[in-house]
Amino acid sequence: MKNIVILISGRGSNMEAIVQACAQEKWGARIAAIVSNKATAAGLAFAAQHGIDTAVVDHKQFDSREAFDAELARVIDGFQPDLVVLAGFMRILTEGFVRHYEGRLLNIHPSLLPAFPGLHTHERAIEAGCKLAGATVHLVTPELDHGPIVIQAAVPVLPSDTGESLSARVLRQEHLIYPRAVRWFVEDQLTVSNGRVQHQAGAPQVVWAAD
Ligand code: GAR
C-alpha cells in the first residue's frame, strides 16, 4: 500500500478528485495526509470529514523559504510518503525541498506547459489570443512549473471566454487528468527517460475536451 501526501493551499478540488478516485477505483494506495500552508484552506474540512489526517505548516511563521520548507518536509516525511502531490499548493519551493522528493513529486498547473508558467494563466492565454488552453500534470523540478510532463488536457478558448469561464472549463479536465496521473504513478506505470514520461502500456497522455 503506497502512501500519498497531498499539499493544498485553498479550495482543494483537485485533492477531492484524487481522494474520491483512490477510494472508488480501489487503488493500491492510501491518502496518508493532507497538508496545507493555510489553516483556513477549505480543503482541510473535506479531508477531516473523510477521516484523513491533516496538518498545517503556516509559511508566515517562518523567516525564510528554507526554514519553511525544512519544517514542511519534516511534517510530510512523518507520513512516510511514496508520492507527494501538489494540488493548488501556492508556494514556490526551494531546490533542496524539490531534490528531497525528486521523482516522487507531482504538480498540476492550469496551462499547456511550457506555455504560461506562473500565475493568471487563463487571462494570459485569452490575452495572447490562444485558441487552445488546458492543464498539465508534471513531475516537479526546481524550475517553477517545469518538469517531465505526465499528461495534458486541452480545451478550446472561446471568443466569449473570461478568465473565470476558461478556468472552469480547464478545472473540469484537471479533475480528470490529475487522479489518472496519480494512479499511473502509484501503479508504477510510468517511465521517465531524457525528461520525457511514457506510459508503459501506451495509455493516451493527452485528453482533448470539446467543452
Ligand atoms: C488549480 O487550478 C491548479 O491547477 C492551480 O490552482 C488551482 C487549485 O484549485 N495550481 C496552480 O496554479 C499551481 N501553479 P483546487 O484547490 O480547487 O485544486
The predicted-structure confidence for 104-149, as pLDDT tens digits, reads as follows: 999 999 999 999 999 999 999 999 999 999 999 999 999 999 999 9
Ligand 1 contact via 109 beta carbon (within 6 Å)? yes
Confidence of residue 178 (pLDDT cuts 50, 70, 90): very high
> Which residue intervals of the chain bear CATH 3.40.50.170?
1-101, 107-211
The pLDDT assigned to 210 comes to 86
The ligand 1 atom at the shortest distance from the C-alpha of residue 8 is: 16
Would you state the pLDDT for residue 119? 96
* Percentage above 70 pLDDT, the chain: 100
Q: Which residue has the cell 478528485?
A: 17
Helix (H, G, I), strand (E, B), or coil: what is residue 31? strand
Q: How far apart are CA 163 and CA 147, in angstroms?
A: 25
pTM of the complete model beyond 0.75: yes
Mutation test residue for ligand 1: of 14, 46, 138, the one with most atoms within 8 Å of CB: 14
Long-range contacts of 77-81 (CB under 8 A, 24+ apart): 79/3, 79/5, 79/32, 79/33, 79/53, 80/3, 80/32, 81/3, 81/4, 81/5, 81/32
% of the chain beyond a pLDDT of 90: 99
Helix 13-24 vs helix 163-186: crossing angle, to nearest 10: 40
CA distance 29 to 80: 12
Q: Is 12 in the pocket of ligand 1 (CB under 6 A)?
A: yes
Q: Is 110 in the pocket of ligand 1 (CB under 6 A)?
A: yes
Q: Grid coordinates standing for 13?
A: 478540488
Closest CA to 22 of 93, 87, 99: 87
Q: How confident is the model at residue 96 (pLDDT cuts 50, 70, 90)?
A: very high
Q: Is the pLDDT of residue 51 over 90?
A: yes
Residues annotated catalytic, as ranges: 109
147 lines ligand 1 (CB under 6 A): no
The kind and range of the H/E element at 106 are strand 105-109
Cα–ligand 1 centroid distance for 86 (angstroms)? 9
Judge if the beta carbon of residue 10 lies within 6 A of ligand 1. yes
Nearest CA to ligand 1 atom 14: 109
Cα dihedral sign, 78-81-84-85: negative
Nearest to 187 by CA among 22, 9, 6: 22
Is the pLDDT score of 87 beyond 90? yes
Q: Identify the band that residue 189 occupies on the pLDDT scale cut at 50, 70 and 90.
A: very high
Asked if the 1-101 domain carries CATH number 3.40.50.620, the reply is no
Biggest alpha carbon distance in the chain?
Answer: 48
* Ligand 1 site, residue 13, Cβ cutoff 6 A: yes
DSSP state of 41: -
By the 8 A CB rule, do 66 and 95 touch?
no
Q: How far apart are CA 149 and CA 137, in angstroms?
A: 6
- Return the best residue to mutate from 108, 150, 173 for the ligand 1 pocket (most ligand atoms within 8 A of CB): 108
Task: Please list, in sequence order, all residues whose beta carbon lies within 8 angstroms of the beta carbon of residue 29, skipping any fewer than 6 positions away.
Answer: 1, 2, 3, 4, 22, 82, 83, 186
Identify the CATH assignment for 107-211 out of 1.10.357.10, 3.40.50.170, 3.10.560.10, 3.20.10.10: 3.40.50.170
Strands 83-86 and 149-156: unpaired
| Average pLDDT along the chain | 97
Residue 211 pLDDT grade (very low, low, confident, very high; cuts 50, 70, 90): confident
| Residue with CA closest to ligand 1 atom 1 | 88
Q: 34, 85, 109: which to mutate for ligand 1, most atoms within 8 A of CB?
A: 109
